[in-house]
Structure 1
């Protein structure tokens, strides 16, 4: 099985066909519904964020899990997905994590059905 690199254009299709592959990604992957609730939170993101993935499923990503992600640009791009069901944007972002700014690359990519959006996170 080949490694899926960060920023792969058809990653949404790959994960739609083979959802278990999200666990083997070498970067964080969070699947959000259109309201921002977490449907999937991979092990890599759990290690990065210091969270047990099983404890965040069903919770509001922007209000409960990562309120630091509510910055205008990041959250604004998610709100576009919320309205349209479409997203495919990469951006540089700085999270405030445990009192320090952490530079990351974010890839928001909607699934083909338009009901869910992958949030891929890679430390910059």
Structure 2
């Protein structure tokens, strides 16, 4: 999907390269998180953008499982009041981009 199509989805989409740098950041995610795409793109997601997800439940899954398509219940706490969400983590060893989808 191109960026315009991603922006029509009813949930946030974040794409990370192999190093964990943000290379996709949908308008929906920007609106919910209150972060402008230009301040997020190219930054390390788990240390500079969303350190509340830098743990075994989220970041650790990408490191420990080469193939991943799982939905977890999660509570976001960074830059906002605690917010319950469903987080889908997608990774395929044949695709260089990892995805985090966030349904609020």
Normalised by the size of structure 1, how large is the TM-score?
0.74
* Residue 99 (structure 1) shift: 5.5
Q: Secondary structure at the match of 2:57?
A: helix
Q: Decide which moves more: 20-29 or 92-101.
A: 92-101
* Residue 73 (structure 1) shift: 1.1
Contact 2:51 2:78 in 1 (8 A): no
Residue 2 of structure 2 is aligned to residue 19 of structure 1: yes
The structure 2 residue matched to 1:77, chosen from 54, 61, 70, is 61
Question: Unaligned regions of 5+ residues in structure 1, if any?
Answer: 1-17
* Residue 108 (structure 1) shift: 0.9
The structure 1 residue matched to 2:82, chosen from 94, 101, 104, is 101
Residue 41 of structure 2 is aligned to residue 60 of structure 1: no
* Residue 50 (structure 1) shift: 0.4
Q: Secondary structure at the match of 1:64?
A: helix
* Residue 88 (structure 1) shift: 0.7
Aligned residues: 103
Query: Which 4+ residue blocks in structure 1 deviate beyond 4 angstroms?
Result: none
* Residue 79 (structure 1) shift: 1.5
Of structures 1 and 2, the larger Rg is shown by 1
Question: Which one has a larger percent helix, Structure 1 or Structure 2?
Answer: 1
Please provide the CA RMSD for this pair. 1.7
Contact 1:74 1:93 in 2 (8 A): no
Question: Unaligned regions of 5+ residues in structure 2, if any?
Answer: none
